[in-house]
Amino acid sequence: MELKVKQEACIGCGACVANDPAHFEFDEQGLSHVISQENLDSENVKTAIESCPTSAIALEENEECHCEHCDCHKEEGE
Ligand code: SF4
């Protein structure tokens, strides 16, 4: 999974930075960006995503993997 901020949608309200400073930080333009891909299942990440008024935060599957040729989507033991 990859945590992203769509900066074209971010209005710099600060809700994500306040709710989850471990994952979000303002850049020099006053827009939020992601600073960590660790602990993406934490409650703070969910709270930050839910708190964003413009739905600018996305938690996405890794785009580079299309799973035709690798095992990344298989359960362990398959
Ligand atoms: S909560 Fe959304 S709009 Fe507000 S700073 Fe974070 S990403 Fe931007």
The domain ranges of the chain are 2-60
pLDDT in tens, the chain (78 residues): 999 999 999 999 999 999 999 999 999 999 999 999 999 999 999 999 999 999 999 999 876 666 666 666 555 555
How long a stretch of residues is the chain? 78
In this structure, CATH architecture of domain 2-60: 2-Layer Sandwich (3.30)
Q: 46: Cβ–Cβ under 8 A, 6 or more apart, which residues?
A: none
Ligand 1: which atom is nearest the Cα of residue 55? 2
What's the distance, Cα to Cα, between the start and end of the chain in Å? 21
Question: Strand, coil or helix: what is 31?
Answer: coil
pTM over the 0.85 mark: no
Output the CA 13–ligand 1 centroid distance in Å: 5
Q: Report d(CA 13, CA 3) in Å as an integer.
A: 18
Contact 16, 51 (CB under 8 A): yes
- Ligand 1 close to Cβ of residue 10 (< 6 A): yes
